[in-house]
Amino acid sequence: MKALGKILGLFLLGLLLIIVALLFALTHLFDPNDYKDEIRQIAHDKANLDLQLKGDIGWSLFPWLGLELTDATLASADTPDKPFADLRMIGLSVRVLPLLRKEVQMSDIRVDGLNLNLQRDAKGHGNWEGVGRPAKTDGSEQPPAEQPPVADTEPGTEPGKSTAQPLKLDIDSLTLSNSRIDYNDAQKGQQFTVENIELKTGAIREGASIPLKLSAFFGTNQPVLRARSELEGSLRFDRALKRYQLEDLKLAGEASGEPLNGKTLNFSAQGQLLLDQAANIAEWNGLKLSANQLRALGELKVRELDKDAKLAGGLSIAALNLREFLDGIGVELPPMRDAGSLSQFELVSRLNGSSKGLMLENLDLKLDGSSYSGSLGVADFAKQALRADLKGDKLDLDRYLPPKSKDSAAAARQSEVKASIADAGSSGTTPLPNAPTQQAWSDEKVLPIERLRSLDLQLALSLGQLTFDQQPFTDVTLKANGRGGLITLEDVRGKLQGGSFSGSGRIDVRQAEPMISVEKRLSRIPVEPFLKKEDQPSPIRGLLDLDAKFNTRGNSQKAWIEALNGNASFVLNDGVLVGANLEQQLCRGIATLNRKTLSNPPSGKDTPFRELKGSLSVRDGVAHNPDLAAQVPGLAVSGNGDLDLRVLGLDYKVGITIEGDQREMPDPACQVNEHYVGIEWPLRCRGPLELGAKACRLDQDGLGKIAARLAGNKLTEKLEEKLGDKVSPDLKDALKGLFNR
């Protein structure tokens, strides 16, 4: 028995030596380079590949099935003169015995000098197309009839269900170096390049953590952009569960090019990435982002990957100087009145979106000392559908408006106004100012017509305080929407210094010439802040009630005013005419009629009034006011005239009636008596609107008629005294009519 065992052992040893000798002879006596043509033909027939093996093929058989290729090129057999890949060297080896157990145990895989040159011609045909399918045959050969697939089944299993197990991978490492990818689309004129690709991994085993490191340079021509990036992390995958994880991701790099206007962006990202194809979800947890001085934290989750993927998550951007950040990435901001605006920015929000749009919800935004909450985003990228529903504590809009500048028309008119002010003086004794003639408005384009036509907007805004044109509005709400070239301001309302306002309007840019309409309602709004200028006070003070409805057309201030039409009614309460003492002017007129000289002119500079009301009918930029009426203590004021909004000029006839205030005046020369009660004293107002009451003078023609009337009254009285009852009543009335004409 022992002898039999010894003989069997010697036999097995001899057999093993024979096998080793045969393998040695096979690897040393068999040269695969002698079969290059056969290898090329197999690649051509089975994969429609044109394979060129210019270098030697090195190989080994046991215990590793090793292969090393050098200097090879690949092309589609359809376009053999246009190779899409060339390779300097690839080396790999597989352990033979594990292959019998459907396990792939490989040593290091080394790829050096791989160049992929993917070209799509002007007709849209790619030089890699056709690879992977059998080569074309001539028409004389009939393709073999397709056989139904044979299921890999075992007894007891259902037909069609395969029991084959996937190959088990076990690779010591993968190294890719000195490689490059070029993509050129002649049809679209696009080029994309990835060069200096360096990839290094640790042991690749399913279910285990696989360290990897990748670096490359990227470039595009539309737009011109260059970027360098480095990636590190650990890859873990389970093919049976279709689950892939990239743990401890660290991505860093820098970019420059046309989108950055010559500036450089340094970026980095960290976190844990997960792709679960079975559940159709992808996640990025522990997200950390940086871009120059921007720092952000967050988490992202994408679900329904097999459909229209849905995005959810959160994002937090730490406080930063937004102006400096935008300048650092080449974004040129328009000039603003406050050079320090956009210096404070901070954001916390939930994200909700899809491939169509992205919304920031539960928003907490801080900007330049103001805080906002609500939602903001794009509902549809293709339509640029903007959606905003925001509430804020305050907004100083003046900080973000363009700097004030005077155009030539405004400058010319301003000089005209200054000349009128100098001529008007303060006493009211100079001649009437000339009516203004210089255009007061700019003819520069205001509305971005094409942008408004494509605008898709839904906006709801609520502000505790809004500063505009240095005026503090409070409790401001605004609702607006726009689509297809029609922008509608559904409602805007708020408060200003104890008063309130509301309104609505719309802008229609669907036709060649924009059409604009607006409705306004004001209640007890102070007029002084809107009428005063930097170099002169407001000509009127008071609280305004206004109902107005206007429409116009065009795309400049000048065009809007010249085409302005509509109607309005107004009441100005608790008013004051600044810089004009009507009492003084009346006293001077009465003194003239009394043929006396003023000894103590009134010292007051303003004229208070309880109420000023009227209506306006605007036609082509000229507002006609037929029913101006004012109540001044002891006086009634009425008038009619025009406001030429094109040149901001006024031309009014005003009548002032003494209602019987018989109190003694400070100066006996203008003492009111019964002769002056009920008489309408005429004023004429003409000149720039900024002059206000300073543009008013006594109407000398009207004053002469009053003098004639008073003289007639005195003569009638004397006749009555002389004749007494001797004259009939009809004759008395005729005499009065004669002198009162």
Neighbours of 119 (CB within 10 A): 17
**Average pLDDT of span 524-545:** 81
Beta-carbon contacts of residue 255 (< 8 Å; ≥ 6 apart): 225, 226, 227, 228, 264, 265, 267
- Secondary structure in 3-state letters for 78-131: CCCCCCCEEEEEEEEEEEHHHHCCCEEEEEEEEEEEEEEEEEECCCCCECCCCC
**What percentage of the chain exceeds 90 in pLDDT?**
43
Residue 711 has a pLDDT of 62
Residue 426 has a pLDDT of 47
Kindly write down the DSSP assignment for every residue of 46-66, as one continuous string. HH-EEEEE-S-EEEE-SSEEE
Summarised one tens digit per residue, pLDDT across range 487-496 is 999 999 999 9
Is the pLDDT higher at 601 or at 95?
95
Q: Does residue 357 carry a pLDDT above 90?
A: yes
**Average pLDDT of span 583-609:** 68
Summarised one tens digit per residue, pLDDT across range 221-241 is 999 999 999 999 999 999 889
For the chain, the distance separating the N- and C-terminal CA atoms, rounded to the nearest angstrom, is: 164
DSSP for residue 258 = G
pLDDT band with cut points at 50, 70 and 90 for residue 710:
low
Average pLDDT in the chain: 81
pLDDT band with cut points at 50, 70 and 90 for residue 702:
low
Summarised one tens digit per residue, pLDDT across range 535-555 is 667 778 889 999 999 999 999
Written as six digits, the tokens of 500 are 């309130």
Residue 37 has a pLDDT of 82
Which residues are paired to 90 by β-bridges? 69, 111
**Average pLDDT of span 47-65:** 76
Centroid of chain to Cα 231: 33
